[in-house]
Amino acid sequence: MNTLEYLTNRAQFPREELAKHCGQWIAFSLDGRRVVAGDEELDRLGERLRASGEDLQQVVFEYVPGPGDDATLDGVESL
């Protein structure tokens, strides 16, 4: 994983796209350009990724705060 590439792309990821996943765990591609999948439960997300043939070592997991969470959608702070 190229950490600089991930951080750069993740910081530029559209907030509108993140907003679609509020209150969910998401799996980003290693380059930080796309959301591979999302789910409210981290375990279930892992199961879904494995079932679809994704290698869990090839994604970055992140929680997207929901309306009841005390956080922002920027995400960079959580890295």
> For the chain, how long is the longest CA-to-CA vector?
34
In the block, residue with structure tokens 């591979």: 36
On whether residue 26 sits in a domain, the answer given is: yes
In contact, 69 and 19? CB cutoff 8 Å: no
On whether residue 42 sits in a domain, the answer given is: yes
Q: Is the dihedral of CA 63, 65, 13, 11 positive or negative?
A: negative
pTM of the model: 0.80
On whether residue 73 sits in a domain, the answer given is: no
On whether residue 72 sits in a domain, the answer given is: no
On whether residue 38 sits in a domain, the answer given is: yes
In contact, 23 and 41? CB cutoff 8 Å: no
pLDDT tens for residues 4-58?
Answer: 999 999 999 999 999 999 999 999 999 999 999 999 999 999 999 999 999 999 9
On whether residue 70 sits in a domain, the answer given is: no
In contact, 29 and 72? CB cutoff 8 Å: no
Instruction: Give the pLDDT band (50/70/90) at residue 73.
Output: low
Domain span at 18: 3-65
Predicted local confidence at residue 67, as pLDDT: 83
Question: What's the structural domain count of the chain?
Answer: 1
Predicted local confidence at residue 74, as pLDDT: 57
